[in-house]
Chains A and B, each alone.
Chain A
Amino acid sequence: MEITANLYAAICQVKARYCHHLDHQQWEAFAALFTPDLVMELPGVGVLEGRDRALAFIRQALAGARTCHQVHPPRLVALDGGVEAIFPMQDANAFAPPRHGVRFQRGFGHYRERYRYIDQGWRIARQRLDYWRLDLEREETP
């Protein structure tokens, strides 16, 4: 497989959708972006196996949170039967009430992902998020 301009645009669209549906908490549309055998690895959480399990976790973790995920142009590498993508990212998440004392956090990192083409669309089969840096604003102690 070769990284063509159309493939680049298609992968970028999936990731743009990922951010949009995640931040608007549109969970059905969000779920459709993943393969059923998704493996997701999140900082401080570990490995979540299976789309349903991973999404149930995210949904619960973001209840009451206001999130904003933003991604930058990716590095794409063609693999046998798929595409590997490295997306630079930043997020800004507000928690009300504060979570573990944190009311606002800004993260700077990258997603490492594997995409597979199934059911007429590119979908995320593996995802690992690593932060280079996490800035935390804690609630003021009285």
Chain B
Amino acid sequence: MSDPVASELFVALCQAKARYCHALDGKQWDDWASLLARECEFDWSEDTGGPPLRGREAVVAFVRDALEGATTAHQVHLPLVLSADDTAAEVIFPLQDRLVWNPPRDGIAAFTGYGEYRERWIREQGAWRIARLVLHRFHRLVERAP
């Protein structure tokens, strides 16, 4: 019941995730890639309907293309650390994201999402990196192009 998460770990995960959002919205792809484990698996199937992507290069290439021409704002809230040791952590990061396409893409002008990232972080080469990410949505608000 009590959550004796070490403050060092809590701060380290918050910092890594803040950097993740900042690099993503700034489209700083090298920096963003440095937060992904080499053999990572990303599952956005609730949004895309597609299978999970495997491997850092494939994930970065997909996101880079998906966000081409979009202005994005990913904001995360206080994380819930489900379990953790020195080498791995299971974490839930609540997320609100807003994406705007101008001009619209595939008939969509904007999207606001409320959800959570379910993540497994691992220590790789001395840094915390995402080994697995599953995106779960509570709400998807789509604004279609007029």
Secondary structure class of chain B's binding surface, majority of residues: mixed
Structural contact, B3 and A10, CB atoms closer than 8 A: yes
Which residues of B from 66 to 107 have beta carbons under 8 Å from A? 77-81, 92, 94, 96
Structural contact, B78 and A92, CB atoms closer than 8 A: no
Q: A16-B92, A73-B78, A92-B114 are in contact. Are A5 and B1 (CB under 8 A)?
A: no
Structural contact, A16 and B1, CB atoms closer than 8 A: no
> Which residues of A sit under 8 angstroms from B115, Cβ to Cβ?
68
Structural contact, B78 and A14, CB atoms closer than 8 A: no
> Among B1, B5, B96, B138, which residue has its beta carbon within 8 angstroms of that of A32?
B1
> Which residues of A sit under 8 angstroms from B138, Cβ to Cβ?
23, 66-68, 92
How many residues of chain B have a CB within 8 Å of chain A? Answer: 23
Structural contact, A12 and B78, CB atoms closer than 8 A: yes
Q: A12-B10, A16-B92 are in contact. Are A72 and B77 (CB under 8 A)?
A: yes
A71 at the B interface (CB under 8 A): yes
User: In this complex, what residue of A is CB-closest to B10?
Assistant: A9
CA distance A66 to B80 in the complex (A): 20
Contact with B along A98-135 (1 / 0, CB 8 A): 00000010000000000000011110000000000000
User: In this complex, what residue of A is CB-closest to B79?
Assistant: A16
Structural contact, A92 and B3, CB atoms closer than 8 A: no
- Enumerate chain B interface residues (CB-CB to A < 8 A): 1-8, 10-11, 77-81, 92, 94, 96, 114-116, 138-139
